[in-house]
């Protein structure tokens, strides 16, 4: 018999403990958005790197049942060539050791609760590698638990999609910070939070494939936007959301047996 999950989107933060216990007992996957609190230009809120993936996971959960885990709101430190850098007020970052330890604890707590199928869905570019390390360490202690690590939340976009999204050419994901992708997704998913009158285009004075310390301001921008943001639209955001949700669902379908939607309600006696 296939494992089962309750009707409707199951979002960890809004579930009761018996509902969470029931979902874990049903062997439902849980997917955790691993984000950051980081500047996203003068037009987007600093919560972009966890609000966007959490919203996309909600959309994916409506198509393929799983528990939408609690988003991790703090990530590894911002870098000039991909996030603007630590010189911006508002960015709150963790050192690598703290970030890894936090993820280890979160994974072990989910396992203690009973989850055996876990996916880490990282959105913040700088989290790469630091998401894999705690998953690797925890997997060594709990070999019966399957952990899927998604460090790049974006699919490979088709040429036709890139032509719509970037008619003047794709600058690359590293420079797509607070630009067309994230601004379009916000205009589609959370339009009321976009400061539309503050959207600008910007570009660093130099773009090189290495980092320099102390921070070199010429590798970032005064606005915090690293490419074009004025070309963002809600229509592009809808296209992006559809492609990314399909990507999330395809990963789940590849790695985890689907669950059925039924009641998750259990009494305290049943889960004690």
Catalytic residue numbers? 38, 40, 49, 124, 126, 177, 182
In 3D space, the residue among 22, 21, 27 whose CA is nearest the CA of residue 2 turns out to be 27
Strand partners, 44: 40
Token output for 96? 């690598």
Q: How far apart are CA 232 and CA 179, in angstroms?
A: 7
């Amino acid at each position: 018999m296939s494992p089962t999950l309750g009707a409707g989107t199951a979002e960890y933060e809004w579930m009761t403990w018996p509902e969470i216990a029931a979902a874990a007992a049903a062997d439902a996957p849980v997917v955790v958005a691993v984000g950051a609190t980081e500047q996203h230009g003068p037009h987007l809120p600093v919560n972009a790197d966890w609000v966007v993936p959490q919203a996309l996971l909600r959309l994916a959960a409506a198509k393929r049942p799983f528990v939408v885990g609690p988003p991790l709101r703090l990530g590894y430190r911002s870098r000039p060539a991909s996030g603007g850098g630590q010189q911006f007020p508002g960015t709150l970052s963790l050192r690598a050791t703290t970030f890894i330890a936090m993820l280890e604890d979160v994974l072990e707590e989910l396992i203690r609760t009973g989850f055996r199928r876990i996916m880490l869905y990282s959105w913040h570019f700088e989290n790469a590698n630091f998401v894999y390390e705690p998953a690797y360490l925890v997997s060594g202690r709990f070999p019966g638990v399957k952990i899927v690590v998604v460090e790049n939340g974006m699919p490979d976009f088709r040429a036709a999609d890139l032509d719509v999204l970037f008619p003047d050419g794709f600058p690359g994901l590293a420079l797509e910070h607070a630009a067309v992708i994230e601004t379009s997704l916000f205009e589609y998913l959370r339009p009321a939070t976009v400061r539309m009158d503050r959207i600008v285009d910007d570009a660093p004075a130099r773009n090189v494939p290495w980092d320099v310390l102390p921070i070199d301001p010429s590798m970032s921008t005064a606005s915090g936007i690293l490419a074009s943001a004025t070309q963002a639209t809600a229509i592009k955001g809808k296209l992006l959301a559809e492609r990314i949700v399909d990507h999330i669902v395809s990963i789940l379908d590849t790695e985890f047996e689907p669950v059925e939607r039924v009641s998750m309600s259990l009494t305290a006696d049943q889960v004690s």
